[in-house]
Amino acid sequence: MSSAIKKYWPQYKWSNVFAMINNMRRQPTRNPEPFCDRLVVLTGATSGIGYYTARKYAAMGAHLIMVNRNREKSELVRREIAEEFGTPAEYIIADLALLEDIQRVGHCILSREKPVDVLIHNAGLHLQSRQETGEGLEVNFAIHYLCPLLITRMLMPKYQRDRTGRIILVSSEAYRFAVWGLDLEDLQWKKRRYSGIKAYGAGKLAQILSMHTLARELAPYNVTINAMHPGMVQTESGKDNGRLYQWYKRNIIDKYSASPEVSAEALYYLGASPKLTHTTDVFFHLTTEEELTPPARDLQAAEALGKRTRELLHEEGVAW
């Protein structure tokens, strides 16, 4: 920790914090152009940001593949989109904390003939206490980092063939809570006391660091990848946490939060605007470009994270 403080502390700037605060007051830039017959893959589309984003893309003419956990809710959203907008929508049922399901989703998308014009990694959660999957992975780490990383890497052959696509990571300003970077020896919080907000921030920081590596690998295929903070909006994140968190969310967070429609407008702009055709490896606060903190710009840390991830996945029997 002391070495990380020495490394990052001199690089921190108050202007970075002030810029973030100013960006909180901004409304997203909107894109009025349609997106007819384009294919959009979206995870976590039955509620909150994902639900409104699915509706926005459908309203603009896009075809949808939604990746969700709940079949009944997925069918309701699919039927709603078909009846209201007359655009094709389908879904894949998967638990995106499980490596087996993540790989199944990747194979399913990989098999499609139609190019994936936009891939939005939106699925997420907030946990107050550490939870493990049946495979022994910390849930927050699996959903926020491993899931988007593995699906994106599995689609590399498709991107290489189709030579088009945009990938958007629904990130969070909470990555800033990983002030001194990642603990590569304890990525899954087995050794340290679990902190919900710190673990969430670390998962989002890992996600951002992976963006730098993926951007470089995707560049030859004319595919871009960017991350965005979706604004302070009402979501169901943390709905299974304890009573204290539920009270705080209901009376503080939700009270001062905007509708997820704001996030949907931003995600549509980032995915469909012609102005961003060649923009990659950028963090947006809604639709405003924002400078990352020192740990999130650390390319050596990104490389070290990739190496540690390969080792972890090898232990789980998953090909990189």
Q: Tell me if residue 174 falls in helix, strand or coil.
A: helix
Structure-token match 């702009």, residue found:
269
Report the alpha-carbon distance of residue 319 to residue 63 in Å, rounded: 30
Report the alpha-carbon distance of residue 178 to residue 289 in Å, rounded: 20
Contacts by residues 69-75 (CB-CB < 8 Å, ≥ 24 positions apart):
69/93, 69/94, 69/95, 69/96, 70/46, 73/46, 73/47, 74/45, 74/46
Take residue 175 and report the two structure tokens written for it: 């990555």
Interior angle at CA 153, CA 210 and CA 282, nearest 5: 40
Q: Which of 51, 57, 175, 200 is catalytic?
A: 200
Take residue 69 and report the two structure tokens written for it: 């956990």
Write the DSSP assignment of 295-307 as a string of letters.
GGG-HHHHHHHHH
β-pair partners for 63: 39
Q: Angle, nearest 10°, between helix axes 196-218 and 147-154? A: 20
| Listed residue (202, 92, 225) closest to 146, CA to CA | 202
Interior angle at CA 200, CA 78 and CA 24, nearest 5: 80
Report the alpha-carbon distance of residue 150 to residue 152 in Å, rounded: 5
Task: Find the Cα–Cα–Cα–Cα dihedral 297, 302, 305, 310, rounded to 10°.
Answer: 160
Q: Give the containing element (helix H, strand E) for 65.
A: strand 63-68
Burial of 244 (0-12, 13-18, 19+ CB in 10 A): exposed
Q: Is 200 annotated in the active site?
A: yes
Catalytic residues: 200
